[in-house]
Amino acid sequence: MTHLSVASAMNPSGIVAGPAYRAFCRGHRGRIPLGGFYCAKYLQKAEPNPERLRVDMLETLPSPYGLVRYGVAPDHPEVKHVTEDFDVVARHPGFRFFGNVTLGTDVSLEELRSLYDAVILAYGAAGDRPLRIPGSTELRGCLSAREFVGFYNAHPPSLKKALALLPELPPHGDAHRLGLRPPSACVVGNGNVALDAARLLVKAREKLRATDIHERALDWFTHAGIREVTVIGRRGWVQSSFSNKELRELVTDDTILAVIDPADFSASLTEASLEELRESRLKQRSRALFEQMAANWDERERTDRPIVHLRFLASPVRALPHPDDPSRIGALEVTRNRLEGSAGAQRAVPEERGATRQEDGREYGEETTVSADERMREDWASTARDTNTTKPNLPDRSTLPTFLSAASVASSSRSPPSVSSSSVLPASLLIWSIGFQAVHAPNLRLPTVPGTGALVNDGGRILGLESDDSGRTTQGGVYASGWVRRGPRGVIATNIMDARETADRVLADLHLAHSATGARAEPQLPSVTAPVSSATSRFLGDSSETGSRRGLAGEKAEADAGDESTQNGKIQRASQPAEEPNARPEEAHAALPSLEDLLRRRAVHPVTYQGWLRVKDEEKRRGQTRGKPAEKIACIDEMLAIAHGEPPTAGIQRRDDRPSL
């Protein structure tokens, strides 16, 4: 039988398969991504017999579904229907779920490779790219989109952090200070996550009350009273990453006014941008939506609807403190950009090169230390000085929409006399969504791509691992799927195709590996898609040069690291020789305890899928009392108690109380 293990996004988790073929999928930091569940789905589709292939999935949080549960906006319930597919996977007799188990803390990758024929890492990109401007780490009200999304989706670690970063609201009974002042927010980023944040901040509350948004977030949104959100992108609208579906949703919402400054619209249409438009049908379709927002520009002064302003060709310079409370943000200074470069390679260049490109000898965007006194001396209520700017390429007037006059086109070729290349936007909240990067478990020791942190791989198989001298399969191969495989880009459909390809690679390798070890030849498992042409005849083996391996929960690579028992909640170990890794797969599986035994010895209480369903039922019950689909439970201790059928005081150890490697 094959045992597979899959590890998934936002918290190391995994898929594992048993005595025939064993696969393991593992997630990271609380989110099993689509790559993990869909890898399991396609493996099951290729070999539905649980006597030949078993899959175990590990997840740090007690809850599965990952980004579908903790990343999808609450007003997009149709996207969450994919969990019905996941439930079908979980009901397969060859599938097991291990929630509340973390890679690198509760079990090591080396141990999983010894226990399973294959380990699939699918833990996404859990880290945010920081916004390296002064004030963003010092002022309250500045937080990343991941923290903000976790806030309204009740992701336990993100919710806790967001509550510490969000500005405090005035008392509800204070009639003179209802909501935040200024009632404005800035969102830096030009992708769907940024658009989700902006939309939800101003969406009609009666519409949000019918969703599964976390009740605490809904209360905050209601009393914050945000009336205008500025979404900032350093390049033009042609280069933005918004999907047409998200743009259309924003434009057609009759409770929100979406606007673009016509000058920004025209300044984005360089000759290179026009060439990019001609080469992309998607961009051509989005153009009408952007034109509609530009046509809405003059309505902003006479509307009573909240406004979402998409501002292009701008970069944040620094977050400025509020004049009444220097501990929180009161405004964001931005600088105006222009586009340079050829089609497909245009970059944003600050119009005021000398002063904004470099401050105090530091490159623009590099974080600097600014004292509170210096920040308080800033007059954030006024705009910066006027400057002359370099004239960009003018677009062909015949390509412009009718709402752009010849005068507006001419004025867009330079900063208008009344507009500075730097400006200050009032803001009580600053959110940034400028990219993500993979965060790996401690001591994972796998090759990564600089910048994104994605694992170096060939068609899903992790590179950089070596087999032993005899060419035998000594431990399960390691694979990747989703964002941790290719970097943080793509949508749900991209992850599905990615998972299919990784599953194909695993299936091809599993068949060849068994014949290479001299074990009983197994019939070839069917391929999910076309056969993988570059499949190797053996698994990649252990890269360690010694026979000892590092255990978990503080285990050291010493000669006395051996058997374990639990006493008073702590791990006790008896002296035992280190295990020999270069054994045949069957010998390795027999020598090591099962995953359940390993976790039991370490006082780890995994959550089964049935346990998760108890949590899910309780969330639905609580939601029904509020007239919503569900009210997510954000307390890990409470989730564990419900999953295990025990009261919250039963003493089940919290995630952050367990030691790491």
pLDDT in tens, 413-441: 333 333 457 899 999 999 999 988 878 87
Peptide bond into 182 cis (omega under 30): yes
Distance of alpha carbon 107 from alpha carbon 659, whole angstroms:
12
Say how many Å lie between the first and final Cα of the chain, rounded.
Answer: 31
Rounded to whole angstroms, the Cα distance separating 207 from 13 reads 35
Residue 33 has pLDDT above 90, yes or no: no
- Given a contact cutoff of 8 angstroms between Cβ atoms, the answer to whether 43 and 89 are in contact is no
Lowest-pLDDT choice from 85-99, 233-247, 443-457, 624-638 = 443-457
Give the DSSP letter of residue 583: S
The CATH number of the structural domain formed by 142-167+181-388+406-431 is 3.50.50.60
User: Which two three-digit tokens encode residue 80?
Assistant: 């969450």
pLDDT interval class at 1 (50, 70, 90): low
Lowest mean pLDDT among 399-408, 462-471, 632-641: 399-408
Q: Per-residue confidence at 172, pLDDT binned at 50, 70, 90?
A: low
CA dihedral (205, 209, 213, 214) positive or negative: positive
Q: Is the pLDDT of residue 94 over 90?
A: yes
Identify the weakest region by mean pLDDT among 147-151, 396-400, 590-594, 626-630: 396-400
Residue 63, phi-psi category: left (phi > 0), alpha (psi -120 to 50), beta (remainder): beta
Task: Tell me which H or E stretch contains 636.
Answer: helix 636-643
C-alpha closest to that of 85 among 65, 60, 55, 61: 65
- Give the phi and the psi of residue 34 in degrees, each rounded to 5: -60, -35
CA–CA separation, 229 and 224 (whole Å): 13
Q: Is residue 567 pLDDT above 70, yes or no?
A: no
Band of pLDDT at residue 173, cut at 50, 70 and 90: low
What is the reported pLDDT for 493?
Answer: 75
DSSP letter string over 111-173? Answer: HHHHH-SEEEEEE---EEPP--STTTTTSBTEEEHHHHHHHHTT-HHHHHHHHHHSPPPPPTT
Instruction: Give the separation between CA 523 and CA 526, rounded to whole angstroms.
Output: 9
- The phi, psi pair for 378, rounded to 5°, reads -70, 135
| Structure-model confidence comparison of residues 435 and 141, the more confident one | 141
Asked whether 319 and 139 are in contact (CB, 8 A), the reply is yes
The lowest-confidence range among 60-69, 171-180, 513-522, 543-552 is: 543-552
What is the distance between the alpha carbons of residues 253 and 527, in angstroms, rounded to a whole number?
Answer: 45
Instruction: Determine which of 12-21, 87-96, 257-266 has the lowest per-residue pLDDT on average.
Output: 12-21
Which pLDDT score is estimated for 484? 84
- Of the pLDDT bands very low, low, confident and very high (cuts 50, 70, 90), residue 23 is low
**Residue 659 predicted with pLDDT over 80:** no
Of 443, 481, 406, the C-alpha closest to 121 is: 481
Stretch among 30-44, 258-272, 529-543 having the lowest mean pLDDT: 529-543
Q: What is the largest CA-CA distance in the chain?
A: 84
Q: Report the alpha-carbon distance of residue 479 to residue 117 in Å, rounded.
A: 11
pLDDT digits (tens, 9 = 90+) for 603-638: 999 999 999 999 999 999 999 999 999 999 999 999
User: What average pLDDT score do residues 183-204 get?
Assistant: 97
d(CA 427, CA 228): 9
- Section 554-583 average pLDDT: 33
pLDDT band, very low/low/confident/very high, at 236 (cuts 50, 70, 90): very high
| CA–CA distance, 120 with 132 (Å, rounded to integer) | 34
CB atoms within 10 A of CB 602: 20
Secondary-structure percent of the chain, ordered helix, strand, coil, rounded to 5: 35, 20, 50
Residue boundaries of the structural domains of the chain: 142-167+181-388+406-431
- At 450 the pLDDT is 85
Mean pLDDT, the chain, whole residue set:
75
Task: Give the CA distances from residue 643 to residues 31, 62, 94, 631, in Å, rounded to whole numbers and listed in that order.
Answer: 18, 8, 21, 16
What's CA 322's distance to the chain center, in Å?
30
CB burial string 46-71: b at 16+ within 10 A, e below: bbeebebbbbbbbbbbbbbbbbbbbb
Q: Residue 144 and residue 550: Cα distance in Å, rounded? A: 35
User: C-alpha angle 632/634/637, rounded to 5°?
Assistant: 125
pLDDT of residue 179: 85
Model confidence at 400, pLDDT cuts 50, 70, 90, reads very low
